Structure 1
Amino acid sequence: MITILYTYRNRDLERVKRSLDSLQQQSKKNFEVVFIDYGSDLDLATQVKELILRYDFVKYEYVFTRYQPWNKCKALNYAIKKTESEYCFNADIDIIFHPEFSNILEEKLNPEKVLYFQVGFLSNEESLKQLKFEDYKVNFLASEEATGMSLFPTKKIKELQGFDEFFHFWGSEDTDIHNRLKKHGCEIEFYNSKLMMLHQWHKNYRGRETKELNLELQLSKIVEINNRHLQYNLKNNEPCANLSKWGTINSEAEFNELDLFKNELILNNKSEIIDHFLFVELPKFQNGILSVRFVEDDFQSSLKYKLKKRVGKKVPNYYTLKEINDKLLLHIISFYHQYAYTYKISNDLKSISFKIKK
């Protein structure tokens, strides 16, 4: 038996349906599907759960990471840690599978090998069509460097304590696990004998990234930071990238405890206040819940401040909320992602709220 792992958050239902329909049409039912909803908005989570009930081979599980940045590695590790089948496949909600895909998986099973597949990318217009697999017009083919769609021996990936959970948002996590498994003695095979997967179009993370604060959690330059971490791991001789606590996610009880906690510290955006919080107050805090809301200092928008700044008099140095967002998120993913925490940007984009239980 093979376990196919989907990781998901807030994607449209038609995309999900096309992918799961393609698995329902497999000529050989030698797999089960675990669908990890990594903190979708509750209305959409209800809708996708109702959709998934139509597929008897899919198990749906919601995890309480709604107010955390996207982390595919944590979602996968959470599922892998509980997987009992000998092999697991890292799927993508955007993928439409060839009807013979599961046959190829079975033919290629090998406890010492990782198998990954070439993907054909569809245009936006083509993605919206309902066609047989062979009738889709492929826009372009992925190269051997695209390592995402992979079949793993579960035992091997567990021995490495899973995907590196430093990787947040987007980029490099799939190549990293290939590199570390290769160091661990696995052969890596690229399958491109026949096209087995089509990728439905969507705007990528780089295309969505903005220079200003956004309701979608973003971290500037994270793609470059992730790539740097990939290179660091490649040079490091230690194949295990995580601590022993890998594959753990906020429980519903922890999520609710944080959500209900009301004792809030309000900090303005003076640079010395933010720096002191990040480098002193946050690391020193222990044994409780710390709740902080970051806001802009009223003085920054005053006429007095503007006049003093214009004539060159000394005024406070401020970070923008976007700069605070980037500094705080980088600290979280580097040092605090294994704690229970929530991170929210207000709808009016005028404050950032952060809670953590340590």
Structure 2
Amino acid sequence: MITIIYPYRNRELSRIKRSLDSLVHQDNKNFRVLFVDYGSSIPFADEVKNLVLSYSFATYQYSYTLYQPWSRSKAINIGLKWVQTPYVFVADIDVIFRNDFISMLNNLASSARCYYFKVGFLSEPETSVIKKFSEYQISFSSEMGAQGLSLFPLQAVQGIHGFDEFLHFWGAEDIDIHNRLTRTGIESLFYNDQILLLHQWHKSYRKGETDVLSNELQLKGVVQLNHQHLITHQNRGVTIPNFKTWGETISETDFNELNDFDNQIVINNTKERVTHFLFVELPQFQNGILSVRFVEDSFQNSIKYKIKKTVGKKVPNYYNLKEINDMLLLHIISFYHQLPYTFKISADLKSISFKIKKQSF
């Protein structure tokens, strides 16, 4: 028996349906699906849940992380804690499965090996049409470096505490887990005898990154940071990177408590004020909820400030909100991602709100 984990957030219902429909037609029914919704917007999540549960082989798990950055690692790890089968396949909502894929997984499954698979990528026009698997025209296929769609022995993956939860947004988590498993003696193999998986077209997420603040959570340079993290693991021979509490998520109770907490501290964007919060106030705070809102100092846009700056007089030094966004997100994913927290950018892009629940130990 194999469990298929889908890590997911806020993608089209049609995309979900096409992927799950391809599992309906498998010639081997010896599988389960665990669908981990890592923080879709709550009204939409109800539609997702209803669709997923309409498939008899699927279960649905919601994580209250809608006000946290995307982490494929954390989403998969949540699923790994629920898996009860000896083998797990990590999927993607964009995947269409050939009808003998589950049979192939059952044939390949081994406690001493993990496999990743060659994938055929569809163009936008080809994705828009529903066809038999064999009739799709493939634009290009993945090579050995693409390890995102993988079959693992569950005990081996749980033994190294799953995927590295430092890794947020995009990049490195798949290569990292294969590398760490290899260091424990598990063989990592690329299955490229034939194409058993197709990938539905979508816009590139990385091309959507901007150098200015946006309502979509982003961290400038995170792909390069994640790659450096991967290199460091390789150099140090790391096998177990996570806290003992890996695979956990913010509870509905904690989420509601944070959401309802109104006692907010307003912090202006002067460099010394922001720096003091990040390096002194935030790490020292314990036993309660800390709620702050970062805003631009009104003096920064005043005529007096502009005149003083022009004539070379002393004026405050400021971070812009994008810089604060990046520094705060970097602190969160480095030191606080295992704690209950929320991170919100206002619709008008004029403030950033951050709440975190900490307990003394």
- Shared topology, TM-score over 0.5? yes
CA distance in 2, matches of 1:61, 1:82: 9
State the Cα distance separating 1:237 from its structure 2 match: 2.4
CA distance in 1, matches of 2:53, 2:74: 24
SS at match of 1:59: strand
Aligned residue for 1:91? 91
Letter in 2 for 1:282: L
Letter in 1 for 2:292: V
SS at match of 1:82: coil
State the Cα distance separating 1:331 from its structure 2 match: 0.3
* Aligned 1:133-212 pairs, distance under 5 A: 133-212=133-212
Letter in 1 for 2:144: E
* Aligned 1:248-263 pairs, distance under 5 A: 248-263=248-263
Correspondence 1:235 to 2:270? no
Correspondence 1:70 to 2:70? yes
Deviations 1:30-76 (A, max 9, x none): 10000001110012111111211221101011111110000111111
Deviations 1:272-321 (A, max 9, x none): 10011001110000111000000000011111111111222211111010
Aligned residue for 1:246? 246
SS at match of 1:349: coil
Alignment RMSD, CA only?
Answer: 0.8
SS at match of 1:148: coil
Greater than 6 Å deviation, 4+ residue runs: none
Aligned residue for 1:270? 270
Correspondence 1:303 to 2:306? no
Letter in 2 for 1:91: A
CA distance in 1, matches of 2:86, 2:72: 21
CA distance in 2, matches of 1:125, 1:312: 58
CA distance in 1, matches of 2:105, 2:88: 10
* Aligned 1:45-64 pairs, distance under 5 A: 45-64=45-64
* Aligned 1:324-335 pairs, distance under 5 A: 324-335=324-335
* Aligned 1:21-60 pairs, distance under 5 A: 21-60=21-60
Aligned residue for 1:350? 350
Letter in 2 for 1:213: L
Letter in 1 for 2:185: G
Deviations 1:92-146 (A, max 9, x none): 0000111111111011011100011011111112111111111111111111000
* Aligned 1:306-317 pairs, distance under 5 A: 306-317=306-317
CA distance in 2, matches of 1:81, 1:74: 11
CA distance in 2, matches of 1:81, 1:112: 20
CA distance in 1, matches of 2:128, 2:51: 18
Runs (5+) with no aligned partner, structure 2: none
More displaced, 328-337 or 51-60?
A: 51-60
Letter in 1 for 2:235: K
State the Cα distance separating 1:82 from its structure 2 match: 2.1
SS at match of 2:266: strand
State the Cα distance separating 1:202 from its structure 2 match: 1.3
CA distance in 2, matches of 1:259, 1:48: 23
More displaced, 232-241 or 68-77?
A: 232-241
TM-score (norm 2): 0.98
Letter in 1 for 2:6: Y
CA distance in 1, matches of 2:228, 2:83: 30
SS at match of 2:131: coil
CA distance in 2, matches of 1:204, 1:354: 28
Correspondence 1:82 to 2:71? no
TM-score (norm 1): 0.99
State the Cα distance separating 1:231 from its structure 2 match: 0.5
State the Cα distance separating 1:350 from its structure 2 match: 0.5
CA distance in 2, matches of 1:242, 1:183: 16
Runs (5+) with no aligned partner, structure 1: none
SS at match of 2:81: helix
CA distance in 2, matches of 1:43, 1:243: 32
SS at match of 1:69: coil
CA distance in 2, matches of 1:267, 1:79: 37
Size of the alignment, in residue pairs? 358
Aligned residue for 1:292? 292
CA distance in 2, matches of 1:238, 1:170: 20
CA distance in 2, matches of 1:136, 1:63: 35
Aligned residue for 1:105? 105
